[in-house]
Chains A and B, each alone.
Chain A
Amino acid sequence: MVQTEDGSTPIASGSRCNNSVIDDVYKDTGSLFEEPSAMTTGTYVDEKERFRTLATLQLPRLYAISRRLVGDDAEDAVQDCLLRAFRKFSQLEDESAGPAWIASILINVCRDRGRYKARHPEEVSLDDVEEFSLYRTIADEDPFPYSDSLHLDFLHQFTREDVHHVLLSLPEIYRVPLVLVHMDGFATKEVARIIEAPLGTVLARLHRGRKLFERKMWDYAGESGMLKEVVS
């Protein structure tokens, strides 16, 4: 933290700090803290307000991402994310990157929770999935014999809640890239950075995730009686 000899804040110091009174309070104890956090810098009030503004604006998006990644634990995950983000907020240098920054914290919180593993232990044979084509399956099985737009009719059977169920049935490693890229508009490179995996890995998981999603949609439609209802 830059300060002049008399303890006042220099003009154009390049620091975000502009509250010299609180700076003075912490001037002597500052060294006790390895890294200045939102709690120890003089900008506490100001910073807290900026964080609150960022987080409030992002809440709908964070909650939506969280719902898709951890289902019913979404609210808890968002809370964890807000806590972590608040502690690290002073490290965010460019606040215009705030939305991407806070989303990446959320995604890592969701991945850390790890509860999806317990709920969905079954591994899918990816060889089968690789060969699967939802388009062809619908055409071959012809679930709506009187329809002239079979494929669209199939998709229209799915409510938001149904899609949610299908997504949650995917193993986490495939669900995360699929949701982030196709539903939340992240670039594949950005996903690679957030989950700290090589781009090639993300692309391969995305590819399999899409195939798996197709397969699970078909299974779900059968299990939930979606196809029968329309035929009868």
Chain B
Amino acid sequence: MISCSQATKQLWDYVEGAVDGAQRRVIEEHLSVCRRCCGEVEFAEELRGFLAAHGDTDLPEEVKVRLTSFLDEL
């Protein structure tokens, strides 16, 4: 069984599906007995959604006008 700190190091990768089958089994074994690390996994998923949701930045109108006229001048 791996420790919480060993598990924590890999949880993001686990959430991302970036761990191989053997690692996945080891992590899942730990998760099956550790509530705290399950919380970590949920939070990592939350944080992932949070980052994606903060992904779009508006293009301010004045910047759009400037960049469009820049394109026209090319």
Interface residues of A (CB under 8 A from B): 48, 51-52, 55-56, 59-60, 63-64, 67-68, 75, 78-79, 82-83, 86, 130-131, 133-136, 139, 151-152, 155, 158, 160, 163-164, 178, 182-185, 188, 203, 207, 210-211, 213-214
Contact = CB atoms under 8 A, between A and B. Distances in A.
Contact of A139 (B39, B64, B72): B39
B71 A56 contact: yes
A75 B66 contact: yes
B74 interface: yes
Given A135-B43, A182-B51, A55 B71 contact: yes
Contacts of A182: 48, 51-52, 55
Contacts of B8: 133, 136
B61 to A, nearest CB: 11
Contacts of B48: 182
A contacts with B: majority SS: helix
A135 to B, nearest CB: 4
A134 B63 contact: no
B23 to A, nearest CB: 13
Interface of B: 5, 8-9, 12-13, 18, 36, 39-40, 43-44, 46-48, 50-52, 54-59, 63-64, 66-68, 70-72, 74
Given A64-B55, A163-B54, A210-B12, A52 B47 contact: no
A135 B40 contact: yes
B contacts with A: majority SS: helix
Contacts, number: 89
A203 B12 CA distance: 11
Contact of A83 (B5, B9, B74): B74
B19 to A, nearest CB: 11
Contacts of B44: 135
A42 to B, nearest CB: 18
B55 A184 contact: yes
B59 A60 contact: yes
B29 to A, nearest CB: 19
